[in-house]
Amino acid sequence: MWEDPATGERKEPLLTVPIALGREFARLPELLDGQRVCRIVLNSLDVSRYHASIEMEGDRLTIFDRGSSNGVIVNGTKQPQSTIEPGDVIKIGNYQIAIALPDNSQPVATPASQSQIRFNSVTNRPDPRITPPPVVQLNSCLPTIFRQTHIEPQAIHATGLPVEEVEYATVGGGLGSFIWVDLLRISGVSTDRIRALGMEQQPYGRYQQLCLNAQIVPYERLRSPADACPDNIWGFPNYATIEAFTDIAKGRLKSGLGHLWQVFTEPTLANTYTPKSGDVIAAIDREAARISWKKMIRTASVQAIRKTTDGRYAIAYTCQQPTDYACTIARYVHIATGYPALQFLPDLQAYRDRTQDFKTVVNAYEPHEHIYESLAMYGGTVLLRGTGIVAARILQKLYSLRRNNDRVEIRVIQLLRSPKTDGNKYGLAERKVEHNYEFQPFNWPKSAWGGQYKTTLENATPEQRQHLLADWGGVTTMNRPDWRKIITGGIHKGWYQIFYGEVQQVVPNPNRGGTITTVRESGVKGDIHLESDFIIDATAVDAPITASPLLQDLIQQYNLPINQLGRLTVTEDFELPEMANHVGKVYASGAITLGNAYAPVDSFLGLQYAAFNIVQDLLARKAIELKPLILSRSLLQWWQWMNNRSPN
């Protein structure tokens, strides 16, 4: 069992020995001692081409280092050869691999029915009660013509569906859609030629709700640089400058100058500046009003996208009711549907499947304010899973509850698979680790946005990109002294404890309510039983694109290729080339395109980068009304933005 360093996806293959592990499939042996080998590829440059093998030596399971450059570390100790037991953790490059053996007296356990939490098609919020069918199929109420790959526009009108015809349409209606539409408007396109199809009127609707659930309230700061402004493609004045001058104007001179100091000296002499969540939302509201977003948005749940016979695309969607269909026909389509689903730990999903308890065990991105309300009144113990930015936020929230409610006892148990002693490495660089938290200001190294790492990724082959993204990726958080102080103080005072091991099961506690988590710790005989009142899974947010019925349907209908990380394959212009339809083009951006020539695709700056590349490609195709942002036009549009005037 391990997690992919680039995507965070959990891998749990059931294998028979012998097993070979390495970076290149072709270099791994097919046979060892006459036995067929299970070959596992680990995509990191810190992993040798043929790194290690796991074999039976007598009746003992043994791992052998096969002359690797960085060695094999078993339970924290580098060893050329080592016997391994269930619960042991093997570190190979950036991969932490846990070992478990099936009980031969019991049938092999099957995975939980799902290890993902999907978004409700009506509320657009995480809904743990949605159980997907084994095979995603088109909505049975969808008009039958949408079962074809190419549709005549006249046939769509003949169905009697409400039909709009425009030049530009974006599917998703979130921040990715908003940033693309914003650039179109600045580049001269009028509102009647653009349609945005999404679940909510505000482009930040889902994003804001996920932030609130993850305890990033309006006065808390996002993990984003000062110049990542989804409302301002020029990035000036950036959030730090605006906040600084606002504070100075209100007489808060020290605070205002402090923000400017952060920007000029980060991260060496000061903490990295990040904007407040509420400031970003307010800025997007202002820009949405300026570009007349409400004239272009349609509340819609998109069900299918089909090519038309005249070189355009038909987008079928439901409105207020599941059977209330409409259609938009557009020449240029942009898909930015965001995260298809939330990942959820399989053992916690199994607990929910058995108990139907959705209150005691939650995902950090689900609404779970009831937990904090209960702790404030009665105290209790929280079992926290994960060590990323969201885990740090939740730990900060629990610390705040303890400080403000000293009449009750609040304890935190952090459960990890294995100790995190060193961070990801790339070349001579290595990320700092403290108390199992790996530090990095943003989710990717800053050079990946527009520096050397960006160029390196563009020039790499698809296989090389997979290695680079594994080495640059991983679960990280910001190196903030206040968070580190909380952990150090919590360990010293005893209200915060860390346990390591592989979860065997999670069951209800029959004696006092809550749960009992059974953990098998490496090198320790017997299991550990951790009692808690609540469990919060803060491990990851992303999920494979096949969790989205719309994307799954597109992949099946048009044989869209999937890249090395299981996401959509796009060009450097973010086009889906297989969807080309004469003059018509389909583009994609955001998390569904991770693994191509650009790494930080789901960041504010990444979404702006994708939008800029797409618009540049549309300009080359002489798309209607689109004008290049030459110096004079760019200055004029920036002045319009500064004065909050319409782009037109």
Q: For the domain that residue 529 is a member of, what is the CATH number? A: 3.50.50.60
Q: Quick check: is 587 in a domain?
A: no
Q: Tell me: do 239 and 373 sit in the same domain.
A: no
Q: What is the pLDDT of residues 543-602, one digit of tens each?
A: 789 889 999 999 999 999 999 889 999 999 999 999 999 999 999 999 999 999 999 999
Average pLDDT of span 10-32: 92
Q: What is the pLDDT of residue 29?
A: 95
Query: What is the distance between the alpha carbons of residues 427 and 3, in angstroms, rounded to a whole number?
Result: 22
- Phi and psi at 354, nearest 5°, equal -75, -40
Q: What is the pLDDT of residue 3?
A: 84
Q: What is the pLDDT of residue 5?
A: 83
Q: Quick check: is 67 in a domain?
A: yes
User: Could you check whether the bond before residue 153 is cis, i.e. omega within 30 degrees of 0?
Assistant: no
Q: What is the pLDDT of residue 112?
A: 45
Q: Quick check: is 621 in a domain?
A: no
**Do the Cβ atoms of 314 and 161 come closer than 8 Å?**
no
Matching residue, tokens 């990280």 = 476
Q: Tell me: do 376 and 520 sit in the same domain.
A: yes
Instruction: Point out the least confidently predicted range of 72-86, 190-204, 604-618.
Output: 72-86
**HEC per residue, 504-544:** EEEEECCCCCCEEEEEECCCCCCCEEEEECEEEECCCCCCC
Q: Tell me: do 412 and 505 sit in the same domain.
A: yes
Q: What b/e string do you get for 485-516 counting C-beta neighbours within 10 Å, with b at 16 or more? A: ebbeebeeeebbebebbbbbebeeeeeeebbb
Q: Tell me: do 284 and 352 sit in the same domain.
A: no
Q: Tell me: do 84 and 7 sit in the same domain.
A: yes
Query: What is the token pair recorded at 645?
Result: 């005037």
Q: What is the pLDDT of residue 113?
A: 46
Query: What is the distance between the alpha carbons of residues 95 and 528, in angstroms, rounded to a whole number?
Result: 25
Q: Tell me: do 350 and 282 sit in the same domain.
A: no
Residues sharing a CB contact under 8 Å with residue 590, sequence separation 6 or more, in sequence order: 172, 176, 336, 337, 338, 601, 602, 606, 607, 610
Q: What is the pLDDT of residue 108?
A: 44
Which of 44, 68, 99 represents a domain boundary (last residue)? 99
Average pLDDT of span 156-174: 96
pTM of the model: 0.92
**Do the Cβ atoms of 575 and 586 come closer than 8 Å?**
yes
Nearest to 633 by CA among 289, 182, 189, 188: 188
Q: Quick check: is 605 in a domain?
A: no
Q: Which helix (H) or strand (E) holds 491?
A: helix 481-493
Q: What is the pLDDT of residue 125?
A: 86
> Up-side HSE of residue 61: CA atoms within 13 Å toward CB?
16
Query: What is the distance between the alpha carbons of residues 1 and 496, in angstroms, rounded to a whole number?
Result: 27
Q: Tell me: do 270 and 359 sit in the same domain.
A: no
Q: Tell me: do 357 and 498 sit in the same domain.
A: yes
**Do the Cβ atoms of 451 and 458 come closer than 8 Å?**
no
Which of 288, 307, 334 represents a domain boundary (last residue)? 288
Q: Tell me: do 413 and 495 sit in the same domain.
A: yes
- Phi and psi at 403, nearest 5°, equal -65, -35
Average pLDDT of span 267-294: 95
For the chain, how many structural domains are there in total?
A: 3
Q: Is the pLDDT of residue 279 over 90?
A: yes
Query: What is the distance between the alpha carbons of residues 177 and 496, in angstroms, rounded to a whole number?
Result: 42
47: domain range?
2-99
Collapsing DSSP states into helix, strand and coil, what is residue 259? helix
Q: Which helix (H) or strand (E) holds 434?
A: strand 433-434
Q: Quick check: is 363 in a domain?
A: yes
Q: What is the pLDDT of residue 149?
A: 94
Cα distance between the two ends of the chain: 55
Q: Quick check: is 351 in a domain?
A: yes
Q: Tell me: do 237 and 375 sit in the same domain.
A: no
Query: What is the distance between the alpha carbons of residues 482 and 488, in angstroms, rounded to a whole number?
Result: 10
Q: Tell me: do 382 and 284 sit in the same domain.
A: no
Q: Is the pLDDT of residue 540 over 80?
A: no
CATH number at residue 20: 2.60.200.20
Q: Report the chain's mean pLDDT, rounded to a whole number.
A: 92
Query: What is the distance between the alpha carbons of residues 628 and 644, in angstroms, rounded to a whole number?
Result: 21
Q: Quick check: is 64 in a domain?
A: yes
Which of 99, 114, 145 represents a domain boundary (last residue)? 99
Q: Quick check: is 77 in a domain?
A: yes
Confidence of residue 114 (pLDDT cuts 50, 70, 90): low
- Taking CA atoms, 283 is separated from 263, 266, 398, 508, in Å, by 20, 24, 30, 45
Q: What is the pLDDT of residue 450?
A: 93
Indicate the Cα dihedral angle 638, 643, 646, 647, nearest 10°. -10
Q: Tell me: do 396 and 521 sit in the same domain.
A: yes
Q: Is the pLDDT of residue 347 over 60?
A: yes
Average pLDDT of span 95-116: 65
